[in-house]
Chains A and B, each alone.
Chain A
Amino acid sequence: MKARVYVTLKNGVLDPQGRAIHHALEGLGFTGVEDVRAGKLIELSLKDGTSDEDIEAMCRKLLANTVIENFRIERIAA
């Protein structure tokens, strides 16, 4: 089984990379973009039976820095 962990910056945390991407898109002529926030996608291949609590603990202990980031876990069928 697999899980995807989406790590995103919390609201209110300035995102310099998102802002640079936004500027670059505008430079390419895409004028309809109002905001860009960059994040990470981490894909985990897991042994069957890995609990939600285990995945959440992985996120809290390492994958996300909860001072500045939120995370969302999505399980996907193999």
Chain B
Amino acid sequence: MKSAVIVFPGSNCDRDLAVAIRDVTGEAPVMVWHRETELPEGIGLIGVPGGFSYGDYLRSGAMAARSPVMRAVADAAAHGVAVLGVCNGFQVLTEAGLLPGALMRNAGLNFVCRDVPLTVGTSQSAFTSCYEMGEAIRIPVAHHDGNYTADEETLDRLEGEGRVAFRYAEPVNGSARNIAGILNDAGNVLGMMPHPERMIEPAHGGADGRRLFEGLVDALA
């Protein structure tokens, strides 16, 4: 499966994401610099990695969301290409309007960096098909702005349409309805604050993140 990982100034999880994708798909993703205006042809997956793009200036993800490559990412998403945004990548996808809502400063104001228990909200997506709905998994977070916010109508719609992919099983950052990750309406764009790429082999302390990538391979390869 061909894939791409976007690299912004200040991305710092791009390599980890690329390694996870390479390990599971057997093919290294093409690393695409934020100034590019086109993506490689024939890709099935775009990774938008974690980090601190543009130093989190103005708002986390705000500058990166307006970079040239994001127009190509939005175009690919509209044509059904899977897009996975992790952490800062999730912030970028909300700022770009590819996912609803916004990620605000953590309610406790602390940078939260630890493994957190999650509950899988749906198995009906390419990203979550290798999990059971309601399954308890463990994946690390590392963020300052992970407090998901949206109006009540949007939250109701996300829940009603089965678009809450992952929920925190305990309070982590003040997120509305404990939302840790959401899907777009077509189900081909996932944004999540936890880092699945940091949990892909037992040496990481667990491999619960690996199945997200395995699900993508099943669905897309």
Contacts and interface: CB of A to CB of B under 8 A. Distances in A.
B66 A16 contact: no
Interface string B91-124: 0001100001110111111000000000000000
Interface residues of B, number: 19
B149 interface: yes
A67 B176 CA distance: 14
A14 interface: yes
B91 to A, nearest CB: 10
B149 A62 contact: no
A10 to B, nearest CB: 9
A16 B146 CA distance: 12
Given A16-B106, A16-B174, A17-B105, A67 B147 contact: no
Contacts of A14: 104, 107, 149, 174
A17 B150 CA distance: 18
Contacts of A20: 109
Nearest to A9: B104
B147 A16 contact: yes
Given A16-B109, A62-B62, A67-B150, 4 more contacts: A14-B149, A16-B105, A16-B108, A16-B174
Interface of A: 13-14, 16-17, 20, 61-63, 65, 67-68
Given A14-B174, A62-B58, A68 B105 contact: no
A65 B102 contact: yes
Contact of B102 (A61, A62, A67): A67
Interface of B: 58-59, 62, 66, 94-95, 100-102, 104-109, 147, 149-150, 174
The 10 closest A-B pairs by CB, nearest first: A67-B102, A68-B102, A16-B105, A16-B107, A20-B109, A16-B109, A65-B102, A65-B59, A17-B105, A68-B149
Contacts of A17: 105, 109
Contacts of A16: 104-109, 147, 174
Nearest to B100: A67
